[in-house]
Amino acid sequence: MSPAKLGPDGRRGWIVPVGGAEEKISDQRILKRFAEIAGGADAVIAVIPTASELPDTGPRYQALFEELGAGEAYWLPFFDRADAENDGLVTQLERATGVFFTGGNQLRIATILGGTPVAKLVRRLSADGAIVGGTSAGAAILPEHMIAHGASGASPTAGMVQLSPGLGLTNRVVVDQHFRQRDRLGRLLTALAYNPFAIGLGLDEDTGAFIDPDAVLHVVGSGAVTVVDVSQLGHSSIADTPQGAPICMTNVRLHLLPHGATFDLHHRTATPPPG
CA neighbor of 19 nearest in space, from 189, 135, 183, 152: 135
Torsion-angle region of 181 (φ positive above 0: left; ψ -120 to 50: alpha; else: beta) = alpha
Indicate which residue of 52, 72, 205, 255 is catalytic.
205
How far, in Å, CA of 265 to CA of 87, rounded? 36
Contacts (Cβ under 8 Å, ≥6 apart) of 220: 29, 30, 33, 207, 208, 210, 259
How far, in Å, CA of 264 to CA of 15, rounded? 14
Task: Tell me if residue 178 is catalytic.
Answer: yes
Contacts (Cβ under 8 Å, ≥6 apart) of 59: 75
- What does the buried/exposed string (b/e) look like for 89-120 if buried means 16 or more CB atoms within 10 Å of the residue's CB? bbeebeebbbbbbbbbbbbbbbebbbebebbe
For the chain, the straight-line distance linking the first and the last C-alpha, in angstroms and rounded, comes to: 40
Indicate which residue of 136, 144, 145, 255 is catalytic.
136
Calculate helix-pair angle for 117-127, 87-94, nearest 10 degrees. 10
- In the chain, the amino acid numbered 63 is A
Indicate which residue of 72, 144, 178, 218 is catalytic.
178
Locate all alpha helices (DSSP H) within the chain, ordered by sequence.
29-37, 57-67, 87-94, 106-113, 117-127, 137-140, 185-194
CA neighbor of 118 nearest in space, from 82, 90, 142: 90
Please list the active-site residues.
136, 178, 205
